[in-house]
Amino acid sequence: MQNEWVGLIGRRRAHLRRGFTMGIEDAVNKGKELFEQNKDKIEEAVKSEQAEDISDKVLDGVADFAKKIAPGAADKIDEIRDGADKAVGNE
């Protein structure tokens, strides 16, 4: 009897994992679908002046923090920061 319960519980857990995985896959697919439907609006938002201002503040803060941790890598940190800045915003 105990072995039957163990098998039943194991099958139920496997079923729940499959259901959870399918839920994640459904969410990812829905996200992809929404992205494709709104690609132009998203691109416009990412390249906006507001996105530029926010990204500059975030990137400056991260770069300053990184320079405190690794002061000898300041030039490389600035290079990475500038590359990231080109990907977001309008400047």
Burial class of residue 51, CB neighbours in 10 A (0-12, 13-18, 19+): middle
Average pLDDT of 5-13?
A: 60
DSSP 72: G
The pLDDT confidence band at residue 58, using thresholds 50, 70 and 90, is very high
pTM here is: 0.50
pLDDT digits (tens, 9 = 90+) for 12-48: 666 566 656 657 778 888 889 988 999 888 888 777 7
Contacts of 90 (CB under 8 A, 6+ apart): 47, 48, 49, 51, 52
Average pLDDT of 58-63?
A: 94
Q: Do 63 and 77 form a contact (C-beta atoms < 8 A)?
A: yes
